[in-house]
Amino acid sequence: MIEFSDLISFSGLMGTLGTATIVILAGLGCLMTEHAGMMNIGLDGMMTASAFIAGIVSWLTGSWVYALLAGVGSGLLLGAFYSLMVVRLRSDEFVIGVTLNMFLYALSTFFYRNLPAAANGLHLEVGSKMMVPAIRLGGESGPAVSVSLLVPAALVLVALCQVWLYRTRQGFWLRASGEKPESLQSVGRSPVRMKTLASLLCGAFCGLSGVYLLNNTHGFTEGMSASRGYVAVACVIFGRSNPVLVTLAALFFGLVDTVGTRLQVAGVVNSTLTKTFPYVGTILMMIVLAIRNEIKKKARRSDLPAK
């Protein structure tokens, strides 16, 4: 039987945070484009492609710095492609997102299968030296947990995004480019430029998320993103594109995911079935929050005539 105290323990919380970080980073990217008035469904493909390129570079150079740079760089390139298609050529963002997923998944799988390293045992492994360094936490009172540096970095990035979006001029322009491009134009700023910036940021965050994904699974495998990009989109939508709320949503996803994994390890539930947990959990959470909002709205409405 599963020990629930174990889940609340330090290592349990760190596991939750670790799983959530993938979604947090991708979510940060998605909310940038969401604020700029575009819905990017292509996060999943962007993550997979960046993870693949980061994996190849770390394998070739043996250095995590290059891998990180390559991952973020490829993310930036993909963001540039997305902005070219959606912002400049005005194609449907949804079509581009879905096709981007298909395209990048197929492309990375194709190259991965033809990789000389992958010929023996289809697994592009990344050694511990090639990974982003981890810090060890705890140890004195409980078991030590090593956490990749990218996890605290992601939390710092959340805070930075929150401040940048709501407290600076650039952030204000970015939000305006999505909500009312005309007003942005009337103060002499180009909405196209802000939208391009948002796509580039989205690509960079997805690249970072891909690098972390690679670190988390110690190597590249086909379909490694496991539609977490879509979960990130879900988190962004019902976190109303607010970085902190999106992070909370992602943490919830991570918690359900960890509970699922623990149940699976404990052998209570079938391993395939536990994979549905995070998705069902996310949907249920959306329903509960929406119903609560509805009730609040109704309460406010019934208050009005009394005044």
Partner 1 sequence: MWLLVLVCVAASVLAGMLYALIPALMKVRLDISEVVTTILLNTVATTFCAYMANGPLQAPGRGSQTAPILKDLQFERFFRPSNLSTAVFIVAGMTLLVWYLMSRHVTGYEMRMTGQNSRFARFSGLKDKKLAVGGMLVSGAICGAVGMLEIFGWKYSYAETLSTDFYWDGMLVAMIMGYKPLGIVLMSFFFGILKAGAIKIQSSANIPSELIQVIQSIIIFFMAAEQGLIQRFRVWRARRHPQREEAIRA
- Per-residue x/- track, 29-58, partner 1 (CB under 8 A): ----------x-x-----------------
Beta carbon nearer to partner 1, 170 or 190: 190
CB 31 within 8 A of CB 246: yes
Q: How far apart are CA 63 and CA 129, in angstroms?
A: 7
Binding piece for partner 1, criterion CB under 8 A, among 133-141, 190-198, 240-248, 265-273: 265-273
128 exposure class (CB count in 10 Å sphere: 0-12, 13-18, 19+): exposed
CB of 270 vs partner 1, minimal distance in Å = 6
Task: Identify the helix (H) or strand (E) that includes residue 184.
Answer: helix 181-186
Q: How far apart are CA 68 and CA 63, in angstroms?
A: 9
Residue list 72-111, contact with partner 1 (CB under 8 A): 85, 88-92, 94-96, 98-103, 105-107, 109-110
Binding piece for partner 1, criterion CB under 8 A, among 156-164, 170-178, 205-213, 233-241: 233-241
Beta carbon nearer to partner 1, 107 or 153: 107
Does residue number 221 form part of the binding site for partner 1 (CB under 8 A)? no
Q: Retrieve residue 6's tokens.
A: 């174990």
Q: How far apart are CA 160 and CA 152, in angstroms?
A: 12
CB of 287 vs partner 1, minimal distance in Å = 7
CB 23 within 8 A of CB 235: yes
CB 46 within 8 A of CB 203: yes
Binding site for partner 1 (CB under 8 A): 39, 41, 85, 88-92, 94-96, 98-103, 105-107, 109-110, 113-114, 227, 230-231, 233-234, 237-238, 270, 272-273, 275-276, 279-280, 282-283, 286-287, 290-291, 294
